[in-house]
Amino acid sequence: MSPVGATYWGIPGYVIFWALFAIAFGLFLQRVYFLYRLMRLGKQENRFGRIGERVGGMLVETVSQWCSLKTVTPKDRAGIGHALVFWCFCLFFVGYIIFIGLAGGFGLAPLIARTPFETAYSSILDVAAVLVTLALIVAAIRRYVLRPQRLVPSAEAAIILLMIFSLMVLHVLGEAFDLAARGVHASWPPLGAALAGFLSRSGLSQGTLEASYRGVWWLHYLVILGFLVYVPRSKHLHILASFVNAFFRPLGPRLALAPIALEEQETFGVSKIQDFTWKDLLDLYACAVCGRCHVNCPAQLSGKSLSPREFIRSLKEHLLEAGPGLLARQTGTSSVSQAETQTDTPTKTPLKTMIGDVVTEEEIWACTTCGACQEVCPVNIEHVRKIIDLRRNLVLTQEKMPETARAMLRNMQSRGHPWAGIQSLRLRGDWTSDLGLRILAEGDSANTLFWVGCTGALVERNVVATLSMTRVLKAAGVDFAVLGESEACCGDPARRAGYEFQFQIMAEQNIETLKSHNVREIIASCPHCYNTIRNEYPRYGGDFKVVHYSQLIADLVSHGKLRLTNELSSRLTYHDPCYLGRYNSIYLEPRQVLQAIPGTKLEEMERSRNTSFCCGGGGGHMWIEEQPGTTKINQMRLADVLKTGAETVVTACPYCLQMFEESIEHKGIGDSLKARDLVEVVEAAMTQSRLD
């Protein structure tokens, strides 16, 4: 007889079963609804388009566990254990529905019990239980003995590990007592059958075996219900929220910033938790506190105050503290449940300020917007846009920023570019002298435009790369024009520093200029310009075909329009710029170009491609000074270069080139290591003819 079919203290087992389920599920729904209401405090955002694509992507990420497996490295294989536990737990979840829900709660035990299906599936669960138990042991050792830097020991994690372990043990015990009580002698399921044989030989009476089976069954059921109640009240809420967050992930460029309606707002950016969007708040629920972002963040690794993990965790804690009061004020009552208030809001505690108490200004300004945190995040959290929203409030509403950021923004307002000092004495068109370039004047049209960018036009070192670019394009027979003096900054430095006003002014002016010349295709040398014009200008009506020069050169080489025949005989390493790689997934083309050059040997850095380490220049940090007392990020990246033994570090970004030049000079190794732009290497390797 099923344990649910028995009577206990005069109460039918079915009544007890469904009463317990109703209590547990009611507590689960109460918490989920509370969290939903908190999430709805955030501003509106449309993430409901392309439903089929969203569903498919969610299933691929979660069911395949690519979300965890993508971060597996030789030094960190924890993602394999996580995936294994997930898959095995899915098997147990189905088993709970069948053997506890249908067989027990709905009285279908006579149709399921003692069937070949029960034996086969129980055997599969035995194997899964062993795998899960081994994974739990490894996880416990890593978290509480080895303690890698990215993990924070917590009681919540221990509770979850113990609950899962108890489920595995109770599964095997339940099988064993059931088989022993029925006097079944079999080989399958293997664990249950082996333990049942031991129990049968132990001399326990039939009544004791039956009572033990019922006790284990009910205990198993209670632990399952306890798991249901506890998960949404713990950091393991991500078990539920990660599925939803995967559904609502960005489908376009992952790190593109959305416009803000400057004319319609009195305050800008985020100064309160409810200023974030509902998707931003959903991110907080999805966080697994796995710490992968923490150990990949260049700001954190260089000793600065920012930790993406702690940033998200602080926001979540603040939401749970402030949320009940905000909900009460929203409804005009104080009717938020007492349980919620006691759980999440300390009594008589003053409400924290978002910028200052929850997140410090130093943390906000430490971010280079490199996107490493989002790249390794298994649950699709969007860290960067939250930090930019906080910067927007500091800059636009509070007028607070580092002095070096203020100087850069003043330059953009007065000079139309972020550079000062010697660069401010140059004119944007100076580099075009005596090159025979087609410089667009008013009324001229051009199908293809070479967008040079501020750094490529104004900084002496980068002008060298720009001149190489023009010679390479000419050698390949590319028909292009330039804007010369009429080219303005794309606005990226202002936007990443939070000064949305200046960005929108520049974006609208540039779009108007490009349209006035009927430009259809843009060749960009700077990944920041490339990303801005390609991914962010379309939100303002600027739809152009934009290619980065590394893509163009790779195409020209593959089609024989550029012949790279000069042997360079050099050991090279390639640095992936963040705004080219993680922002736009351009990893292959620069390597194809380098590998096409005779005599070159490409040595990959340990941190390369999507795990490349930032040069330190993004997010306005080409001009914003790093926090005092910390290591410079470009010096850390130079250390990666030196480990390869390369003679030349090649990159495809003017910011990165500048940062490498500075770090090489600081270390005094200019005789043994050179920094080169990819296009400079291409020019050195090509002939001055082309194949038609």
Q: Where are the domains of the chain?
A: 11-247, 269-397, 416-550, 557-685
Neighbours of 143 (CB within 10 A): 18
State residue 185's pLDDT score: 87
For the segment 549-569, what is each residue's pLDDT rounded down to a tens digit?
999 999 999 999 999 999 998
CA distance 357 to 272: 11
Classify domain 269-397 by CATH architecture.
Answer: Orthogonal Bundle (1.10)
C-beta separation of 584 from 500 below 8 A? no
CATH number for the domain whose boundaries are 557-685: 3.40.50
CATH top class, domain 416-550: alpha beta
C-alpha to C-alpha distances, 497 to 269, 322, 386, 413, nearest whole angstrom: 12, 28, 13, 14
State residue 349's pLDDT score: 57
C-beta separation of 85 from 135 below 8 A? yes
C-beta separation of 633 from 674 below 8 A? no
Domains 416-550 and 557-685 share a fold: yes
CA distance 315 to 273: 8
Strand order in the sheet with 448-451: 448-451, 521-524, 545-548
- Alpha-helical runs (H) found in 77-201: 78-95, 109-112, 116-141, 155-182, 190-200
| Peptide bond preceding 189 in cis form (omega within 30 of 0) | yes
Cα angle 686-688-692, degrees, rounded to a multiple of 5 = 100
State residue 346's pLDDT score: 44
Token pair in block for residue 300 = 């954190």
Neighbours of 208 (CB within 10 A): 15
CA distance 410 to 661: 26
The segments of the chain whose pLDDT lies below 50 read 335, 338-347, 688-692
Q: CA torsion angle for 520, 522, 528, 532 (degrees, to 10)? A: 0
For the segment 234-263, what is each residue's pLDDT rounded down to a tens digit?
989 999 999 999 999 999 898 999 888 888
Q: Evaluate the CA torsion angle 367, 372, 373, 379 in order and state its sign.
A: positive
Nearest Cα neighbor of 573 from 612, 546, 534, 545 is: 612
Q: Hey, which CATH number is domain 11-247, 1.10.3470, 1.20.950, 3.40.50, 3.60.21?
A: 1.20.950
For the entire predicted model, the pTM comes to 0.92
The string over 459-494, giving b where at least 16 C-beta atoms fall within 10 Å of a residue's C-beta and e elsewhere, is: beebbbbbbbbbebbbbbebebbbbbebbbbbbbbb
State residue 342's pLDDT score: 42
